[in-house]
């Protein structure tokens, strides 16, 4: 059974131990996915580059940093134990506050539908990662909604304060990909805990790499096609 997560594929193989764990706690391939999903929502409508950057930054801060810090706090083990609970709380609250400020700015400017999206996202961010209510919301459905579906809709709403058939369709695709990701991730994590055969672990790792890299690279391509 692994004592920490330094051996994970998304943790850098270079740098000091604290640096590697600091990058690892962000789960950058998965964070990249949720940022990409938010970008999808913006890219299917006539978009402002400023707002595209804003929604991507918002989700990076909220789900990329804050949520993963809360996840470390809610975890029964301490694979990222180099950070104290106090530091995790401080980082989480600062980054979440910054994300909320960005959201409120555009909500009060001309995109008020961001507010209900934000309320739901914050609820799942806290309840899922801290496993509140006896872990009732720490499940695949909550992950799919908050990590896949809502980011796409938020990406469209920040641009036009509405949703389109295209954004609904893409939110469904994002939901399916998120479901495959979380299912595979849970199996992968259990195999690592059980010190299963390397070949079994590697197969799941390949799936995780393909999904995350595929989403990120396709989003970059989508952006280049739209922007150039």
8 inside domain: no
Host domain of residue 165: 28-226
157 inside domain: yes
22 inside domain: no
Compute the distance between CA of residue 64 and CA of residue 55 in angstroms, rounded to an integer.
Answer: 12
Compute the distance between CA of residue 174 and CA of residue 215 in angstroms, rounded to an integer.
Answer: 9
CA-closest candidate to residue 125, choices 80, 73, 56: 73
CA 38, 40, 43, 46 torsion-angle sign: negative
Q: Is 116 exposed, middle or buried (0-12, 13-18, 19+ CB in 10 A)?
A: exposed
Confidence tier at 181 by pLDDT (50, 70, 90): very high
4 inside domain: no
Residue range 137-149: average pLDDT?
95
Tally of structural domains, the chain: 1
| Distance from the first to the final alpha carbon of the chain | 49
18 inside domain: no
DSSP string, 23-76: HHTTTHHHHHHHHHHHHHHHHTSS--HHHHHHHHHHHIIIIIIIHHHHHHHH-S
154 inside domain: yes
Q: What is the pTM of this model?
A: 0.92
104 inside domain: yes
- Please write the tens of the pLDDT for every residue from 2-55: 556 777 888 888 888 888 888 888 999 999 999 999 999 999 999 999 999 999
Compute the distance between CA of residue 63 and CA of residue 125 in angstroms, rounded to an integer.
Answer: 7
Neighbouring C-beta atoms of residue 139, cutoff 10 Å? 11
12 inside domain: no
């Amino acid at each position: 059974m692994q004592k920490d997560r330094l051996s994970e594929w998304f943790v850098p193989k270079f740098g000091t131990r604290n640096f590697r764990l600091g990058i690892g706690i962000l789960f950058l391939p998965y964070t990249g996915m949720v940022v990409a999903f938010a970008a999808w929502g913006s890219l299917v409508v006539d978009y402002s580059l400023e707002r595209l950057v804003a929604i991507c930054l918002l989700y990076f801060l909220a789900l990329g940093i804050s949520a993963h810090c809360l996840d470390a706090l809610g975890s029964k083990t301490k694979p990222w134990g180099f950070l104290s609970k106090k530091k995790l709380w401080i980082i989480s609250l600062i980054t979440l506050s910054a994300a909320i400020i960005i959201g409120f700015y555009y909500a009060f400017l001309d995109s008020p539908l961001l507010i209900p999206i934000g309320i739901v996202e914050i609820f799942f961010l806290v309840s899922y990662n801290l496993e509140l209510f006896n872990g009732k919301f720490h499940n695949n459905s909550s992950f799919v909604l908050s990590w896949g579906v809502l980011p796409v809709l938020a990406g469209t709403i920040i641009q036009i304060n509405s949703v389109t058939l295209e954004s609904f369709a893409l939110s469904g695709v994002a939901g399916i990909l998120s479901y495959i990701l979380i299912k595979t991730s849970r199996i992968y994590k259990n195999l690592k805990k059980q010190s299963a055969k390397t070949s079994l672990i590697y197969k799941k790792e390949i799936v995780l790499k393909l999904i995350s890299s595929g989403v990120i690279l396709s989003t970059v391509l989508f952006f280049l096609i739209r922007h150039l």
